[in-house]
Amino acid sequence: MANEKTVVWYRPGKPVKAVRVELSLANMQKLVGGKIQIVPLEPKGNSPEYTLICNEDGKNKYHNDALFPLLNNNGNIVDVIFGPCFIAGKLMNDENGEETFVDLLREDYLRIVRRFGKGAVKNEKKETAETEAADLRQLTACRNMLARLRARKNVKCSLSDG
């Protein structure tokens, strides 16, 4: 299949997984459980740019299944991702001018797991320790963002009630 690529797939309550899949619209929608939203991710340090594909209605549909916050390069939270999603390579134009994703390598998988957490790298103690630390940072940031989102929602509700 011409458009088959390796992606890093995140699902609530399940381990992160590298999968190889044809990136047709129908397959992307199956991976995220609905209509897709494509979000280019900023490179971090010397890391290459990646693309997040998530459910466009993820916050409403999967409001109890926060996966990880999106942080900018300054470490500030810019959004929280809810529900299943996947990270692919950078979106580029191929030789025919059609948009396609760059294929991910094992090194990309390791960078993504270190950056977004929720996974374990087996048989590499150093990588596992870094991944666990990333998971803890992401979990803490996610809990803080959820508390702020809930507080904001409660303020809006109380303002409209009065």
pLDDT tens over the chain, length 162 residues = 457 899 999 998 888 999 999 999 999 999 999 999 999 887 766 667 899 999 999 888 888 878 888 877 777 888 888 889 999 999 888 888 888 899 999 999 988 888 888 543 333 344 455 556 666 676 777 677 777 777 776 655 444 444
Q: Residue 72 belongs to what domain range?
A: 4-161
Q: The whole model's pTM is what? A: 0.69
- Please tell me the total count of domains within the chain: 1
> Is the Cβ–Cβ distance between 117 and 143 less than 8 Å?
no
Q: Which amino acid is at 42?
A: E
Residue 63, token pair as written in the block: 């409001």
Cα separation, 83 vs 79, in Å, equals: 13
Q: What are residue 106's phi and psi, to 5 degrees?
A: -60, -40
Q: What is the DSSP letter of 116?
A: H
- Of the candidates 141, 150, 135, 147, the residue with the CA atom closest to the CA atom of residue 10: 135
